[in-house]
Amino acid sequence: MRPEGYDYDTYSRLAGPLTEPSGASYQVQYTSLLSREPHRIRAVLLMSLAPVLTAALLVYLVWPSHWVEREGGQEWMVGLDVTMLIAIGLIELFMVVNVASVAHATLVARDPIPVVPAPGTRVAFLTTYVPGKEPLSMVRATLEGAVKVTHTGPVDVWLLDEGDDEQAKALCAELGVRHFTRHGVPEWNRPKGVHKARTKHGNYNAWIAMHGGDYEFFASVDTDHVPLPNFLERMMGYFRDPDVAFVVGPQVYGNYHNPVTKAAESQQFLFHALIQRAGNRYRAPMFVGTNNVVRMAAVKQIGGLYDSITEDMATGFELHRHRNPLTRTHWRSVYTPDVLAVGEGPASWTDFFTQQMRWSRGTYETLIKQYWKAPFTMPPGRLFSYTMMLVYYPMTAVNWLLGIMSCFLFLWFGASGTQVAASVWLMLYSDAAALQIGLYLWNRRHNVSPHEPEGSGGLAGMAMSALSAPIYLKSFGEALIRRPSRFVVTPKGGDASPDRVMTFRIHLFWAILLATSLAASVILDHTHAAMRTWAVLAMVISLAPLGVWIGSLLKERRERRSLLGGARTLDTAEPALATTGAGPSVSSTTTGGN
């Protein structure tokens, strides 16, 4: 169920009021976020100066006159110095790309102008269920929300049940929901492909094969996402444009009381509040599977949802490469900032790391298997937009590796690719970092989350992005060696995976490596304030999840002790009250108060 106390009604209409479409041939219209800002000059300065200063820092660090020159025939040290120089150059280059991407998104981000839906369209509202992995109470909440969704045409709510569960069928009968299962059908449960067993895309594709011809569109939400009643009202109007293949909305987490969940939602700020809106500029925001509406003809054209561990992104990528056969125009998509479904996020570090592993691995798979086709089939602007989105995970992963490698080479061997004045480096770096943070904070005004407090700086989200880097690196390595990956349903409700010390084994590995290197630098007298500072910061990032977990355990233990202490005090006080004759009256008063 949706938590109380949040203004979901207002946030479900962030794109503005519904309007009537104008003209005989409708196309989705947009408004620029920048054009609505009263302080555009400040934004333009941030957008311009942040990448410029970051690029200046790159040039300064790798300028030939700053290269280290060694004497005395230490050829192996020269090789380490060159390695360090390349690593430093790549780290700064990736930073320039990242800042330029955010600046570009700030410049072009736009929202669609909502229009009323065309009457009479046939819609299927879908959600899935995996017995044993998702609580039936959660399925009930989602289905109860779905049957309340309003639309100007016929709507059938479907539960796509992976296990043909009797309780699920009884729930569907109670709520008037249609039940579908592919359980026990061999052609819909294959080892790979569009009908791959035990996958979300395989479940959807089986339903499409059986019932897709009965509908023009299907709307879908994840099992943990409760749709708002105006879900279709706010999404369906954009399909008046015949070239719109799908419409997606932002992902927000209703279980906002959990610290991990809070930080996980904040981490997604840039993607849902800015990057997806920038995708509207090229009419190609990314397909997000948590809540969406899809044109049946478009997804059938590409053979169904794509076989991938992140089927949503891969499917959207394929759709954006293809053309509408009726108009010969590339299929388009629309991102609306309207919050139209409230879901549940990972409630433990174990589930958060699993989620980040899956998302990053899916991106790597798209880069390896699909991206090479894009230059020949995708418009240049759309290709640029997708490239900026897809390179985030690999750049973050490689940056982490290069940063650790640089610290290791200096702390153990004294390698140094560049020698610069500390004062100039500090000035350039601090100015560049300040502008980057300023640009990030300026964009916080476009936040679409109804949960984060107004004025929040999103520091928890920035921290979550930093400490996810080791996870992205592990996922990247597995993708490169083609280690098989499998679809994992994120535990939901009260079934969150428990955290253990081994949950943090990846981070602990890097923390031990850095701690050992710092100790070695003391013994070997490899002293450089900047390199040691970076090593310490990387070690703090590596240990932060474990520290937060231990802190939460200690807090829970103190709270339990406090409750037990209060209970013991109450137990010892009651007999004393009874001896004075006050016991019965106190007891009755307490009962009445409850």
The side-by-side arrangement of strands in the sheet containing 217-221 is: 178-180, 155-161, 123-129, 217-221, 291-295, 244-248, 332-335
Q: Which two tokens stand for residue 394?
A: 């690999």
pLDDT of residue 68: 86
Q: Measure the CA angle with vertex 299, ends 296 and 303; round to 5°.
A: 125
- Ramachandran bin of 73, using left for φ above 0, alpha for ψ from -120 to 50, beta for the remaining angles: left
pLDDT along the chain (594 residues), means of 10: 80 96 89 89 90 94 88 78 94 95 96 97 97 92 97 97 97 98 97 94 97 98 96 98 98 89 94 97 97 98 96 97 97 98 94 95 96 95 96 97 95 89 83 92 93 86 95 96 74 74 96 96 88 91 95 88 70 47 35 39
Whether the CB-CB separation of 444 and 93 falls below 8 Å is answered with: no
d(CA 41, CA 145): 44
pLDDT of residue 490: 63
Give me the residue label for tokens 């899935």: 128
pLDDT of residue 339: 97
Give me the residue label for tokens 């500390």: 422
Q: Which CATH superfamily is domain 1-498 in?
A: Spore Coat Polysaccharide Biosynthesis Protein SpsA; Chain A (3.90.550.10)
pLDDT of residue 563: 78
d(CA 292, CA 105): 22
pLDDT of residue 487: 62
3-state secondary structure at position 158: strand
Rounded to 10 deg, the angle between the 392-413 and 469-480 helix axes is 100
Q: Measure the CA angle with vertex 534, ends 533 and 538; round to 5°.
A: 120
140 phi and psi angles, rounded to 5 deg? -60, -45
3-state secondary structure at position 510: helix
569 phi and psi angles, rounded to 5 deg? -65, -40
3-state secondary structure at position 150: coil
HEC sequence for 23-92: CCCCCCCEEECHHHCCCHHHHHHHHHHHHHHHHHHHHHHHCHHHECCCCCCCHHHHHHHHHHHHHHHHHH
pLDDT of residue 593: 42
pLDDT of residue 571: 61
Other residues' Cβ atoms within 10 Å of the Cβ of residue 329? 13
Among the listed residues 337, 338, 297, the one whose alpha carbon sits nearest the alpha carbon of residue 319: 297
pLDDT of residue 72: 64
Q: Output the CA torsion 47→49→54→55 (10° steps).
A: 100
- Ramachandran bin of 198, using left for φ above 0, alpha for ψ from -120 to 50, beta for the remaining angles: left
Q: What is the pLDDT of residues 377-401, one digit of tens each?
A: 999 999 999 999 999 999 999 999 9
Q: Which two tokens stand for residue 571?
A: 């137990």
209 phi and psi angles, rounded to 5 deg? -60, -35
pLDDT of residue 492: 60
Q: Measure the CA angle with vertex 546, ends 543 and 551; round to 5°.
A: 120
Per DSSP, 128 falls in state: E
Please name the amino acid found at residue 153. G
For 331-358, letters b (16+ CB in 10 Å) and e give: bbbbbbbbbbbbbbbbbbbbbbbbbbbb
3-state secondary structure at position 123: strand
Cα→Cα distances 119→54, 122, 230, 298, Å: 51, 9, 15, 20
d(CA 398, CA 571): 59
Among the listed residues 174, 186, 221, 266, the one whose alpha carbon sits nearest the alpha carbon of residue 467: 266
**Rg of the chain over all Cα atoms, to the nearest angstrom:** 27
pLDDT of residue 587: 34
pLDDT of residue 82: 92
Q: What is the pLDDT of residues 316-358, one digit of tens each?
A: 999 999 999 999 999 999 999 999 999 999 999 999 999 999 9
pTM confidence score? 0.91
Q: Which two tokens stand for residue 292?
A: 């969406």
pLDDT of residue 416: 87
